[in-house]
A and B are shown apart, each in its own frame.
Chain A
Amino acid sequence: MQKNHLRDYIKNHLPKVDKTNKYHPVLIEHAIEKAINGVFTEIALKNPHELDQYTKEYSIALVQDGTSLNYTATLTHPYIPIPDKRNGVRFIEAQGDYAEILFMPMTQKEFYLYPNTNASKVSDRIPYYLDRTKVYFYSPSSAVTTAGVVIHQLIPFTVYSDTDNVVIPDGMDGVVVKMALEHLGIIQPVDLADDNKDRQV
């Protein structure tokens, strides 16, 4: 569904009285985002590889960290946190036709131990770990450092453009709408507030 359509759909289900603009579009979007993130986390626990279907591609250049073997790629957008090593970046590939090169996710601890392993001698397997805003690579080949990488990332709902098509996990559309409305439902419309109630002076 297109992003703005989903937002309007939610808005139309909210109480009509909104004099103080409590249901600002940004607020609605955040509610939808929370709902979708919850769905993603559920999927991650049950069937993590299904998340690969909901990613968006970004081509990013690599930057060398001084003269070390470490390179970084700065993410274009934040990602949705997922409880496994891949986190919100579900897949990384080399820009161009380098099918034999695979990028392997790691924890930060593994990443720092990695140079001392036998595995680090293998040329076409590149380890990485994900920080908040960057992906850290260890000793990528020159082909990769030159061409850059393509990152398949789960991005938050708020990051999409209005006309972007947002893919909601199979059969979870209703759940997302319901959860979003529940998040928004705790905010009462102002006109329904009990203004006649006795107040302490």
Chain B
Amino acid sequence: MDTNALIKIQDIVDRYAFKRKIPLDDWNLYLEHATDCVRELSIHHMNAFRTAKVNSVASGIFDMPKDLIDIISLSIPYNGELWTLTPKGSLDITTMQGYPSAEVDDGLLFYENFLDRELFIRRGGSIGGGPTFSSSYITFDGTDDYASIPINLNGTYTLVMKLNVEDYTNQQYVIDFRNNGGTGYITLDAADIGASSGTRYVDGVATSVVDTLGGHYIVITGMSVISDTMLIGKPYTGAQYYDGGVDYIKIYDYEWSTTEITAGNTADAAIAATDTETLLEPRTTDYGARGGNNLYYFSPNWKQRKIYINGIPTETVILQYVSSGLNLTGDSYVPIQAQSSVERYLNWMRAEIDGLGLTERRDRERLYDKEIEMLRRTHIPSASEFKDILLYLMTQVPIR
């Protein structure tokens, strides 16, 4: 017997038949009614949804699961998060064959451009002291301002950043990964950009000298980092706060070549000339880029029961969908709280099977409705769940 929160449909019918002395002769008949009931409950009352891992194929088309009734989301697991794809009414199938590999995986793991305080916080960041967000910079006062953002790094990376230096004489921590026992930091001290490890490049040249105020394009390759939090503008302990601005920080999972460093510097100079962010990074580069615009779409074809995906390589995607509630092979499980509803439904159907009078049938229907009402109460979301739902809906950040 099931003692957990799920029960097999057939076990509900067993219990029903046992309690009401129903002969085995009619057991399958009641099972059929029970499955009808469970399907109705799943669709309308129990918020039953399933998660399926689906391998997207090179053609970008895969079949819907047979029990799929409605799609909740389609997403890609990435760094412990689910990056949802944007639903679209239609896709141009002719562009779906093959994927531009450079756009698919450019190694960009992290990208923060400090465009907007609200956006930064929405991405999981927090701030202390009160740094200002203006002209796409975050500016620290060197006294108590800092920012932090969760991150998940363990390896050797390339860090790319644009700083607006306002003081290069005093020791300051620009970035510190050492919170919670991590390793890695970047400092600015005595006209020198310092890093815990790796090779330093300033404005496209292999040097660590920073002896002028204003904008500097910094690249550090081969830097070892282990961290779950990136502190920006302060050390994990001490008071050497950074005095200046940060335009953006990017982290790549591979070591940049000198060609890339030079090209990056040229691109950065172009950006500085136009003073706009839009040229900095193609918006579609990577679904892993924080705040990156997601141009990976999916589109369901209900008539052919297929889902088309555009823009991702062949890999596993997570499909969350409203299920009919019935497994098409093997056993179907039902939340235990629905047992009473199913039994009431069977009792109602039994009145019809046995040809009982209209009054009796209505009475039993009413009892079923009461059970449904009770079942619904268990699924009214709490305030915190509403918050989660809203946050979930904001996973996509279409602006930037």
Contact = CB atoms under 8 A, between A and B. Distances in A.
Interface of A: 48-49, 84-86, 102, 104-106, 110, 114, 117-119, 121-125, 127
Residue picked from B25, B331, B332, most chain A C-beta under 10 Å: B25
Chain A interface SS verdict (over half): mixed
Contacts of A86: 24-25
A102 B28 CA distance: 11
A83 to B, nearest CB: 11
Interface in B1-51: 8-10, 14, 23-25, 27-28, 31-32, 35-36, 39
Contacts of A85: 24-25
Contact of B32 (A49, A84, A119): A119
Nearest to B10: A122
Contact of A84 (B25, B329, B330): B25
Contacts of B28: 104, 106, 110, 114, 117, 119, 125, 127
Interface in B268-312: none
Given A118-B326, A121-B326, A121-B327, 20 more contacts: A84-B23, A85-B24, A85-B25, A102-B14, A102-B27, A104-B24, A106-B28, A110-B28, A117-B35, A118-B36, A121-B328, A121-B330, A122-B10, A122-B331, A122-B332, A123-B329, A123-B330, A124-B10, A125-B28, A127-B28
B280 to A, nearest CB: 55
Contacts of A117: 28, 32, 35
Contacts of A114: 28
A155 B32 CA distance: 33
A125 B28 CA distance: 9
A149 to B, nearest CB: 15
Nearest to A91: B24
B23 A48 contact: yes
A189 B305 CA distance: 82
Nearest to A121: B328
A73 B147 CA distance: 76
Interface residues on B, range: 20 to 34
Nearest to B27: A104
A105 B330 CA distance: 20
A114 B32 CA distance: 10
Contacts of B331: 122-124
Chain B interface SS verdict (over half): helix
A105 B27 CA distance: 9
A85 to B, nearest CB: 4
Nearest to B26: A85
A16 to B, nearest CB: 48
Nearest to A106: B28
Interface of B: 8-10, 14, 23-25, 27-28, 31-32, 35-36, 39, 326-332
A86 B28 CA distance: 13
A85 B32 CA distance: 18
A54 B32 CA distance: 31
B25 A105 contact: yes
Given A123-B330, A124-B10, A125-B10, A118 B25 contact: no
Given A124-B10, A125-B10, A119 B35 contact: yes
Given A86-B25, A104-B27, A125-B28, A118 B330 contact: no
A118 B328 CA distance: 8
Contacts of B9: 122
B23 A119 contact: no
Nearest to B331: A123
Contacts of B10: 122, 124-125
Contacts of A49: 23
A105 B24 contact: yes
A191 B31 CA distance: 64
A44 B27 CA distance: 18
Residue picked from A102, A110, A123, most chain B C-beta under 10 Å: A123
A143 to B, nearest CB: 14
A-B residue pairs, 7 tightest by C-beta: A118-B35, A85-B25, A119-B31, A119-B32, A122-B10, A119-B28, A104-B28
Contacts of A124: 10, 331
B24 A125 contact: no
14 contacts: A49-B23, A110-B28, A114-B28, A118-B36, A118-B39, A118-B326, A119-B31, A119-B35, A121-B327, A121-B328, A122-B332, A123-B331, A124-B331, A125-B31
Contacts of B8: 122
A31 to B, nearest CB: 31
Residue picked from A48, A104, A110, A114, most chain B C-beta under 10 Å: A104
A124 B329 CA distance: 11
A45 to B, nearest CB: 13
B137 to A, nearest CB: 61
A162 to B, nearest CB: 34
B27 A121 contact: no
Nearest to A119: B31
A117 B329 CA distance: 12
B373 to A, nearest CB: 25
Contacts of A84: 23, 25
A186 B164 CA distance: 122
A85 B22 CA distance: 13
A121 B332 contact: yes
Contacts of B23: 48-49, 84
